[in-house]
Structure 1
Amino acid sequence: MEIDAEMSTPVHIIDREQVWMPVSGEFEVVVDGVTERVKAGQAIVLPAGVVRQMKAVDSAAEAFVAMTVGGKAMMPGSENKIPLPWAE
């Protein structure tokens, strides 16, 4: 996953646990309203079903993201599950 400087993902939910392992830059991660920062050399576990958003801090950031096959994304307040092509 790559995010350009000061850009962020939409606020969303993933139905699988994910592990984010930044390899460059720094991410601001908001999970259920709690903000953490994670940078290259660290990792963060995001539980399934939590509302989340990731933002690249100061410069572009890149991370390896691991989860079980078949994960789907949802927008808060919606039951519409969006397939993640990279997770098939």
Structure 2
Amino acid sequence: MKLVRHAECRRSETPNGVMTTLASPTLGSAQTSIWRTEVKPDVAGPVHIFDGEQIWTFLEGEASIELDGETLTARPGDTAVLPAHTTRQLTAGPEGYTAIVTAPADAHAWVPGGEKTKPAWVA
């Protein structure tokens, strides 16, 4: 068993927000990564693809989720299951949003036409 102390959590900042890694391979998990995402108001994340299923549970704010051409709005308490290998984009509402996200520890992301990379918060 591994207990990840708050001080061990890893913080990754991008122009769109902050991802705080709560568990991942570098923090003692062999199969699953989980992180907290805090996104600034009215920010659109990049259009991208993830090669593992992601599960997003929204805690605060609102997000528009575009997934392969379909758009849904997520609010606090909603959980979105985003299948692997689907093009997606999340856009924050006027208050931004906070969510807990999980994905397989070996997952990679890429922009259409780009190279696969492992996001720092998944590693």
Q: TM-score range by the shorter chain?
A: over 0.9
Which one has the largest radius of gyration? 2
Output one character per residue of 1:46-67: Cα deviation in whole Å (capped at 9) or x when no partner.
0001000001112111100011
Does 1 or 2 have the higher relative contact order (CA < 8 Å, sep 6+)? 1
Number of residues paired by the alignment?
A: 87
Aligned 1:58-69 pairs, distance under 5 A: 58-69=94-105
Identity across the alignment (%): 33
Cα root mean square deviation, aligned: 0.9
Scaled by the length of structure 1, the TM-score of the pair is 0.94
Cα distance between partner residues in 1 of 2:45 and 2:71: 14
Runs of 4+ in structure 1 off by over 2 angstroms are none
**DSSP-derived class of the 2:99 partner:** strand
Cα distance between partner residues in 1 of 2:48 and 2:39: 15
Cα distance between partner residues in 2 of 1:47 and 1:85: 20
- CA drift of 1:86 comes to 1.5
Unaligned runs of at least 5 residues, structure 2: 1-36
